[in-house]
Amino acid sequence: MKSSSLFRPTSSALLLAVGLVFVLEVLFFTYWRNSLGPYWSPVLLYALSLALCLLVARTVLGYRFQWPRATAAVSPWPRLILPVGLTLVSWLITMPLVRKLIDQHAVSSILAKSDILPALQVYVTRFLGPGLVYQPITLGGYTFLPNYPPLQWLPFVPAQVLGLDYRAWAFGALLLALLVAYQWQLARLALPWGEWLLKGVLPVLVLHFTVLRNDSMFGLTVESLIVGYYCVLAATTLSAKPWLKALGLVLCLLSRFSLVLWVPLYGLLLLWENPRQGWRTAGLALAGVLLVLGPFLLHDPTIFFRAQLENLGIAEGEWQHIEPLAPVAGPIHLFNGVGFAPWFYDMAGTLTERITRLQITQFGLCIGLVALAGLLFWQVRHRFDPRLAALLSLKAYLATFYAFLIIPYTYLAFVSLFTSLFLVLLVSRQAPFLTPFGASRLEQPAVGEE
């Protein structure tokens, strides 16, 4: 029989601190975004992201994570009824707003504001053609190399066949990811009903606030699909199944390259946790990447690298793009309150020098954060669960990467915000999913785990 003394008792002060930081992060991403101006708003937002990581790390220090065993009393299946209902509510209250945003930006005339949807249509049309997908694309008289990885456009092939709008399809994918990756994990944690209900409502509120305050994400882009991928990755860091961990990696690596610098740390954490399972995860992830990406690169293996070199020219264009009616005296996509680009924009030097300076800073900080996270884990490796370290370092890495992006589009930064939901899962008054290091494992394997 379980003894409650084995569970992690979390102080009220720590619970309140985590809750407050999370709420502030949500607000400064949505309703209060840029409220402190384009210089100090991103500083506070980044500080809140790191503070949340540190507070949650303090909560789980000395405890290992394990899924509670499914019993008649704590079976996750009855608890899935309400999450499905909450997901349906989220769709009912938010989808009309998404539909309104979609209607405001017709695909036929959207190229003047964004080339994302027209470019995606080119990828999908070529794939269904058939024809070579990865060859130069011409849109609006401008020719550029294709730089979207396969999983950024392949999911829209069914939408094209069914005649559905890509943006609505991507929003549905995010809802599905939140249901499977967040609500299902929450249902398995055997939390008290009150706490479980509160945490079940959080993604509904965060998603609704995001739609209300970030129309470009849902009207001009399909970023909700990418956010869904990262929700899957965050959830799979807590899994013991190699194929699930590999799935999270493949989804994110083949949709954006932003994760590359964090992957070595994740690999080392996996090997520390279980060398055999770690190598299996690495093998499955590598096989998945090669199977999906390989066929598209057979005719030109260097096209992705050359496409990334073109991004400097795109950045220079955005750094000079000033809207006459914008409320800020600077490029609108830099002075939006989510990135540090304004600090570098005002520095001395040519435009190229300032952009390069920010790129080097971003690279150095990401590498430094990964190294620091690895060193900190090594110092407390006998008192810190590597799965929890992976999730916390992922959140800190994403916050750093997107805060120092050369073009800090708001819709990109929301990847970091939604990752915070999975950190909040780990903070609980008693936390039946955390047991002290040195104590016997109460249940292995847990439901659905090896």
Residues 6 or more apart whose CB falls under 8 angstroms from that of 154 comprise: 127, 292
pLDDT at residue 4 above 80?
Answer: no
**Distance between CA atoms of residues 342 and 331, nearest Å:** 9
Give the global pTM. 0.93
Distance CA 61, CA 335 (A): 38
Residue with tokens 């384009």: 38
Using alpha carbons, list the distances in angstroms from residue 21 to 25, 32, 54, 193, 313: 6, 14, 11, 23, 37
Q: Give the CA-trace dihedral at 433, 436, 441, 442, to 10 degrees.
A: -50
Average pLDDT, the chain: 89
pLDDT of residue 74: 57
Q: Reduced to 3 states, what is the DSSP secondary structure of residue 409?
A: coil
Q: What is the pLDDT of residues 143-200, one digit of tens each?
A: 888 989 999 999 999 999 999 999 999 999 999 999 999 998 998 888 888 898 999 9
DSSP string across 333-372: TTSSSS-SHHHHHTSSS-HHHHHHHHHHHHHHHHHHHHHH
How far is the CA of 91 from the CAs of 94, 300, 384, in angstroms? 5, 41, 38
Confidence label for 325 from pLDDT (cuts 50, 70 and 90): low
List, for residues 370-406, the tens digit of each pLDDT value.
999 999 999 999 999 999 999 999 999 999 999 999 9
Q: What is the dihedral of CA 248, 253, 254, 258, to 10 degrees?
A: 130
In the predicted structure, residue 65 carries a pLDDT above the cut 70: yes
What span, in angstroms and rounded, lies between the C-alpha atoms of 117 and 139?
Answer: 11
- Enter the DSSP assignment of 25: H
